Structure 1
């Protein structure tokens, strides 16, 4: 028996999904991607993506996450779920900040969108050894205090006003570089994930 290409080995979702095939094809064509280019980015074979687009195969959840990322949308929108109208304005102090393992997360955007912005307060010594690896992209901008950012085997020290933009499949660590801690703006594209789940769960591991 042949081994399926990367991304195709995951089991199918146990429940019948809505017919996402037309939506997958529409999004790919709307992004002007060939079947081969989209399949390559998603880690699928062109034949498998073609079967998904024609409804001959049901996608697994990892496949939906990967395709949603490539097409710049969300899994909910891929499934045709109607989301309530969101208030575009996020007032100071709303919602209530979330705390986990010393970090404080302030939501700075509407939940459920593909791009999720946060304001983070990172005390000195908190989570400095936590390595994160997960699908998506991250962008950060240092507001106060020095920040130490590890990307793979390379360490960077960022001062207030510095920023970084990277693929979050690159193993990365974030830590305050000074005793006063650091505060930063942070944007991620890990779809439909709560703040603490993104930063602390999923593909996180301790080095």
Structure 2
């Protein structure tokens, strides 16, 4: 028998919400959704509120009566601290926990150069980035996720909303990526930083440095 926290409590939302996909559109994600929510210690109501859904709608997703759309999967993966692949029940091969610096192949986009500093396909992606002084990539970005950066060399200008911060070596910043943000080097010699983001199952080159990234 469901506890009160597990029982749908009507719509629970002020307005209409997306219905998701028909039940046969995706692999059965219902067991994973419920198991991951419980693993995070979240009630149905708490998880639904964070996801912008009603408890009744999330309950339908967890019982397989509806299947989530891709945006719903991305949002739920972020809330549960996992990947869309895990939500879909895909088994990934065992990953090597060590990333050797000499094997990290650099990639470049609009003057930015980055190297993977963490394993691919994880909820948290880590990069070592060289940021040039002035490039076309100095654009305001807004997207789901969180970002953390640590300045290794040079100075970095970080714009968050209306505020502008200049970071020196040893300084760091941690912010929600839905805040409009812009990262640029504040010294003519450029800057180098460690960069970590939680952009679920997205190519680092596409979401961090632009779609024009290419391997050297």
Using structure 2 for the length normalisation, give the TM-score. Answer: 0.86
Deviation at 1:200, TM superposition (A): 3.6
**Ranges of 4+ aligned residues in structure 1 off by more than 3 Å:** 11-15
- Which range is displaced more, 190-199 or 159-168? 190-199
Q: Equivalents in 1 of 2:102, 2:126: separation in Å?
A: 15
Q: 1:146 corresponds to which residue?
A: 155
Structural mapping, 1:126-205, within 5 Å: 126-127=135-136, 129-201=138-210
Aligned residue among 50, 53, 70 for 1:41? 50
| Counterpart residue number, 2:37 | 28
Q: Which has the larger radius of gyration?
A: 2
| Alpha-carbon offset, residue 15 of structure 1 | 7.3
Which stretches in structure 1 are left out of the alignment for 5+ residues? Answer: 203-207
User: Retained in 2: the 8 A contact 1:13–1:60?
Assistant: no
Counterpart in the other structure of 1:4:
16
Query: Is the 8 Å Cα contact of residues 127 and 175 (structure 1) preserved in structure 2?
Result: no
Q: C-alpha offsets along residues 15-67 of structure 1, whole Å, 9 cap, x if unaligned? A: 72111111101111111111111111111111111110111111000100100
Cα deviations by residue, 1:143-188 (Å, 9 ceiling, x for unpaired) = 0001000001110000000000001011100000011110000000
Structure 1 residue 81 corresponds to structure 2 residue 61: no
Q: In 2, Cα distance between the equivalents of 1:122 and 1:12?
A: 41
Secondary structure of the residue that 2:144 maps to in structure 1?
A: coil
- Structure-1-length-normalised TM-score: 0.90
Structure 1 pair 68–187 and aligned structure 2 pair: CA distance change class (3 A)? same
Contact 1:149 1:175 in 2 (8 A): yes
CA distance in 1 between counterparts of 2:168 and 2:21 reads 46
Q: After TM superposition, give the deviation of residue 105 of structure 1 in Å.
A: 1.0
Structure 2, unmatched stretches of 5+, are 1-13, 212-216
Query: 122, 125, 133: which one pairs with 1:116?
Result: 125
Matches within 5 A, 1:49-64: 49-64=58-73
Aligned length: 198
* Structure 1 position 128, deviation (Å): 5.6
Residue 111 of structure 2 corresponds to residue 99 of structure 1: no
